[in-house]
Amino acid sequence: MSNINQYDYDHLRNLSIGTVDYVAPNEIKVMLDTSAPQNTALNTGTPSLFPRINGFVLIPNEVGALVGLISWIGVEHSQYPKRKGYKDFDLIDLPFPLRKMSITPMGTLKQEGKIEDKTYRLERGVYSFPSIGDTVILPTDIQLKSIVENKEENSVVKIGVAPIAGNAEVKINPDKLFGRHVAILGNTGSGKSCSVAGVIRWSLEEASKRLPEGQKLNNRFIILDPNGEYTNAFNDLNCDIKKFKVELTEPEKETFKELKVPAWLWNSYEWSSFSNASGRTQRPILRRALRELRSGETDGISDFQTRARSHFSSCYASLRVDLSTTANYKDSATAFGNKLLSIVSDATLFENNCEDGELKPHFKELAEAISVIAASKYKSFQKGQELVEYYVSFSREDVENSLMAIQNLLDNFGGLKISVGPNEDTPIPFAVSAIPDHVERLSQEAGVIQFVDFLIMRMRSMLSDTRMNKIIADDKEVSLENWLSKTVGGISIIDLSLVPSDISHLLVSVISRVIFESLQRYRRTNNKLLPTVIVMEEAHNFIKRYNESSEEISASQLCTESFEKIAREGRKFGLSLTLSSQRPSELSPTVLSQCNTFLLHRIVNDRDQELVKRLVPDNIGGLLQELPILPTRKAILLGWASPLPILVEMNELKPEHRPKSEDPDFWDVWTRKEEREVDWKSLADDWQNLNQKEVEE
């Protein structure tokens, strides 16, 4: 006898509860026998609730049994069922209330081994659909556990039990859970924060059991915590726990480290967002200032020939980019014409400032050559009182002639200057406080100070803000090496609760981008991945939808773009996201669509429910209908980390391990069962930094 796919058919007859009445790819209807259990089934040998919404049934077939999820139960008036061996065929055929149920096909349960020693293995997908009249049976206790339990290698982390499957243990494989992005969604008070802390804690506790004696875990979690909830959630774990916070009090200095995200870590886009620099004039000046400050060229930049060579080399590089993209000089002819005019005005400015009689004519030649090219495509017409000026499409020859004219000028300064040093985005320390002065100097030399004075004023006022200074100002103790070693290792809890709102999005953007780029370089250097997880609590505040048509680079948009890049490419470099949010409809669709595993707690808002239903597979039937009524601690696990979508009752965390997200205890405070004394003076002095001033005096 073959040792696979052999069923004990006598046993099956005892488990039978109905027959297939209707078959479609996403729905199978079942007519229940009149003798089928009403609420509790004893057929399987152990009492089990049946029929129950979101319970499991089996339909045996040639490869094992189709697993179905009950999505609807009801009574329909049908013909009286004809029972074999009875004289039912003589009855008058009147409508008879028959119980029916609808099931959603979920997968195939394959039997392995001989009848007396059989085991079961669940596979996703349906091999063959049943036919009308096929028998539907109840799964036994062993089969139920085989459906729910994850039998993959390393599926050792128990996150809860499945109430609908006889409280079978629900285990996950950390490689699958954290190897791709995870979204933990649910309303306030649904147990979402405890689930975030729980999956991290339970995974690391299980990993600790497999460690060599005396060793610490080699894990990397960066928890971005906007509300300061996770401070004490991981204190007793066997790994490095690092906590970062701003505005530390004396007692806090023993537990926390001062949060430092120095401004020299920022790239040019983050600087543009911070200073609100406009794209046409201010952003190029700011980028140049950053490049020169990072490369240390600021001392010699006043030399006229050095400045001229540097400036027109940049113009040459910009036109080379345009030459490679036809649309830049054809479809965007007016913008290209204005760029040529700006080169003409720059050449004239350098000519006026040039004291060398031999060099002066070369600037004039450049201005005249570019002016002729621009004038050849210039058009205008009168519209009422207004003169409308524009340019028609330039040719490739026009661009090449412009490049040749700039090259002729540069030949007098030693040729095109190719920058081999750091660019404006390289994280090299420099005197952050010097950047407004340097931008002012460059804009005066370029004759555009009137367009840049507001930018300079904004940067000076923001850099002098004492709240920001503690986080972004120069600190000689902070280098790129020690910033990475302190942040990327063990569990780093970054408390953002007191970070000024002006820069909170910017800091999250910088931290996530720098971590991502460091892991990219690690893979390139070592040809291996460094598994790292970024946990973003309250993700809807930091990974928002944004309007792509806007020219301004907002901090919120930068933050979202940073996470979108991680969502698309992070897995290739060992970086995964764990997102926690109570408003999934406000999250970036790009990031949410890249999440492969979902842990769904209670979601009441209809927009959020609709979004979740669109994101997850259609074949999970009525399971998502439970979202608005899920009790605390119960969640639906589905996606890459789970063989089948399953309702899970999450493990309970000890009170000391829970994030600080409890509901406020109004009644106990009102009735003085719990005292709340308030020293407003002490709080106000701390807020206004008065205590610190007294210490300094």
How does pLDDT run across 24-38, given as a tens digit for each residue? Answer: 988 899 998 887 877
Q: Contact at 8 Å (CB) between 427 and 481?
A: no
Are residues 307 and 258 part of one domain?
no
Are residues 502 and 606 part of one domain?
yes
pLDDT at 302: 43
Q: Report the alpha-carbon distance of residue 502 to residue 39 in Å, rounded.
A: 58
Helix axes 435-446, 449-463, angle to 10 degrees: 180
Nearest one of 174, 231, 229, 228 to 205, comparing CA atoms: 174
Torsion of CA 443, 448, 451, 457, to 10 degrees: 30
Residue 269 lies in a domain: no
Q: Report the alpha-carbon distance of residue 138 to residue 187 in Å, rounded.
A: 35
Provide, rounded to the nearest whole percent, the portion of the chain with pLDDT above 90.
21
646-650 and 220-225 strand pairing: unpaired
pLDDT at 25: 85
pLDDT at 549 over 60: no
pLDDT band at 614 (very low <50, low <70, confident <90, very high): confident
Domain boundary among 429, 457, 487: 429
Give the range of the structural domain holding residue 393, as residue numbers without chain letter. Answer: 297-429
Are residues 332 and 216 part of one domain?
no
Find the angle CA(505)-CA(510)-CA(511) to the nearest 5 degrees: 100
pLDDT at 525 over 70: yes
pLDDT at 215: 87
pLDDT at 88 over 80: no
pLDDT digits (tens, 9 = 90+) for 238-297: 899 999 998 888 888 888 888 888 888 888 888 888 888 877 778 888 888 888 788 765
DSSP state of 344: H
Are residues 309 and 229 part of one domain?
no
| Average pLDDT over all residues of the chain | 82
Total of domains in the chain? 3
| Higher-confidence position of 624 and 445 | 624
Per-residue pLDDT, averaged over 377-402, amounts to 87
Are residues 529 and 394 part of one domain?
no
pLDDT at 4: 45
pLDDT at 86 over 60: no
pLDDT digits (tens, 9 = 90+) for 302-325: 467 777 777 787 788 778 878 887
pLDDT band at 1 (very low <50, low <70, confident <90, very high): very low
Q: Report the alpha-carbon distance of residue 197 to residue 659 in Å, rounded.
A: 7
- Compute φ and ψ for 544, nearest 5 degrees: -85, 160
Domain boundary among 371, 399, 429: 429
pLDDT at 441: 78
Per-residue pLDDT, averaged over 326-342, amounts to 82
| Higher-confidence position of 575 and 64 | 575
pLDDT band at 298 (very low <50, low <70, confident <90, very high): very low
Are residues 512 and 573 part of one domain?
yes
Residue 194 lies in a domain: yes
Q: Report the alpha-carbon distance of residue 641 to residue 691 in Å, rounded.
A: 51
pLDDT at 552 over 80: no
pLDDT at 85: 53
Provide, rounded to the nearest whole percent, the portion of the chain with pLDDT above 70.
87
Cα 444 to Cα 271, 294, 456: the distances in Å are 20, 20, 12
Residue 508 lies in a domain: yes
pLDDT at 673: 85
pLDDT band at 300 (very low <50, low <70, confident <90, very high): very low
pLDDT digits (tens, 9 = 90+) for 451-504: 888 888 988 888 888 778 888 877 777 888 889 999 988 999 999 988 888 889
Are residues 191 and 97 part of one domain?
no
Are residues 131 and 197 part of one domain?
no
pLDDT at 372: 92
Are residues 318 and 220 part of one domain?
no
Residue 331 lies in a domain: yes
Burial of residue 586 (number of CB atoms within 10 Å: 0-12, 13-18, 19+): middle
Are residues 513 and 640 part of one domain?
yes
Question: What is the secondary structure of 541-588 as a DSSP string?
Answer: HHSB---TT--S--HHHHHHHHHHHHHHHGGGGTEEEEEEES-GGGB-
pLDDT at 167: 83
pLDDT at 621: 52
Q: Report the alpha-carbon distance of residue 677 to residue 674 in Å, rounded.
A: 10
Q: Contact at 8 Å (CB) between 292 and 301?
A: yes
pLDDT at 548 over 70: no
Residue 31 lies in a domain: yes
Verdict on whether the full-model pTM lies above 0.95: no
Are residues 253 and 188 part of one domain?
yes
Residue 80 lies in a domain: yes
- The residue type at 48: S
Bridge partners of 102, per DSSP, are 29, 72
pLDDT at 78: 64
Residue 533 lies in a domain: yes
pLDDT at 128 over 60: yes
Residue 483 lies in a domain: yes
Q: What is the CATH number of the domain that holds 527?
A: 3.40.50.300
Domain boundary among 396, 429, 462: 429
| Higher-confidence position of 154 and 92 | 154
Are residues 246 and 139 part of one domain?
no
pLDDT at 22: 92
Q: Contact at 8 Å (CB) between 117 and 90?
A: no
